[in-house]
């Protein structure tokens, strides 16, 4: 959050010439972020409705519950059974803002950098490679470290009655936004080749560190009980969002290859940055990590689908 990602954003902004072949990629990136937020909020409302819906079996089992209470041993008659820490259930519920925040971020933020720019260039032709780059840059600046930070601050630190000014301050002081501005401004400066090479090589150090953080969080997942929390956000991320965005782009008359770029980039797995924001803003890292795992697996099935439909 403070070092690795800003270095990556700085290097990417320094290399990207924003006056060339931008097309409509930034506009459709913003549209994708808006769609992702809308779908995430709708999905969250559905989950909360399902969880809070009255259970018809409760009334039927009331007599059995009363019998169990009557037959229960008196307090202190036996030692309390305390599960080990790794088996203890999460204290968060769907009524808690930190869990809601992780759900929203996992549903709308894509891994356009590590995964997107590594996969998409091999699937599209030269004229539209710039669309993938500008999608990634716009998504990181406007989405992940703009809207994403604001939402993380509201759902996370917002639980402590944080003011709107404090939430805005969180966005303005994001290191990656400053790195983007400095990287763009530094394009006119000529640096020694040694410095340029060191900057490019440092980007590749970010990926292993992110994978270590990811591995640490995945090791704490409780199997299916954790993965089932991420089923809906992962599905929204890799299937529903790109399908809706692709339909809009086709309806607007964009070339099919441009639509393919937009669909692939918007359908990338849930962003590593979502886990970083969960750690930084005290959200629910369980959903963040599980969504990354499920959406990464789902990507192996959706890429052939998009190539079949749009290729």
pLDDT digits (tens, 9 = 90+) for 268-297: 999 988 888 998 888 998 899 899 999 989
Model confidence at 60, pLDDT cuts 50, 70, 90, reads: very low
Task: Please give the C-alpha separations between residue 144 and each of 113, 181, 266, in angstroms, as whole numbers.
Answer: 11, 15, 13
Structure tokens at 304: 């052939």
Using alpha carbons, select from 235, 237, 303, 232 the residue that is nearest to residue 264: 303
Predicted structure pTM score = 0.76
90 phi/psi in degrees, rounded to 5: -65, 140
Query: 149 by DSSP, 3-state: which?
Result: helix
Render pLDDT for 133-167 as a digit per residue (tens, 0 to 9): 788 888 988 998 889 988 998 898 655 545 666 66
Contact predicate 139/16, CB 8 Å: no
Question: What are the structural domains of the chain?
Answer: 4-49+94-310 (1.20.1530.20)
């Amino acid at each position: 959050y403070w070092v690795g990602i800003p270095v990556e954003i700085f290097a990417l902004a320094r290399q990207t010439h924003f006056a060339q072949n931008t097309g409509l990629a930034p506009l459709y990136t913003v549209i994708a972020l808006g769609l992702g937020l809308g779908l995430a909020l709708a999905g969250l409302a559905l989950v909360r409705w399902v969880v809070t819906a009255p259970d018809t079996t409760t009334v039927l089992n009331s007599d059995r519950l009363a019998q169990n209470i009557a037959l229960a041993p008196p307090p202190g008659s036996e030692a309390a059974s305390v599960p080990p820490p790794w088996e203890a259930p999460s204290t968060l519920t769907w009524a808690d803002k930190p869990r809601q925040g992780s759900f929203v971020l996992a549903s709308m933020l894509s891994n356009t950098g590590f995964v997107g720019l590594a996969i998409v260039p091999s699937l599209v032709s030269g004229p539209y490679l710039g669309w993938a780059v500008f999608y990634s840059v716009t998504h990181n600046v406007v989405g992940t470290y703009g809207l994403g930070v604001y939402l993380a601050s509201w759902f996370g630190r917002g639980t402590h009655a944080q003011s709107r000014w404090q939430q805005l301050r969180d966005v303005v002081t994001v290191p990656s936004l400053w790195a983007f501005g400095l990287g763009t401004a530094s394009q006119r400066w000529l640096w020694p080749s040694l410095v340029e090479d060191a900057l490019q090589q440092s980007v590749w150090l970010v990926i292993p560190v992110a994978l270590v953080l990811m591995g640490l969080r995945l090791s704490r997942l409780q199997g299916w009980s954790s993965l089932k929390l991420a089923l809906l956000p992962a599905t929204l991320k890799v299937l529903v969002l790109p399908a809706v965005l692709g339909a809009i782009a086709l309806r607007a008359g964009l070339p099919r290859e441009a639509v393919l770029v937009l669909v692939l980039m918007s359908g990338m797995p849930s962003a590593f940055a979502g886990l970083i924001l969960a750690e930084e803003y005290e959200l629910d890292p369980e959903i963040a990590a599980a969504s990354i795992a499920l959406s990464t697996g789902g990507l192996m099935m959706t890429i052939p689908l998009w190539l079949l439909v749009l290729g």
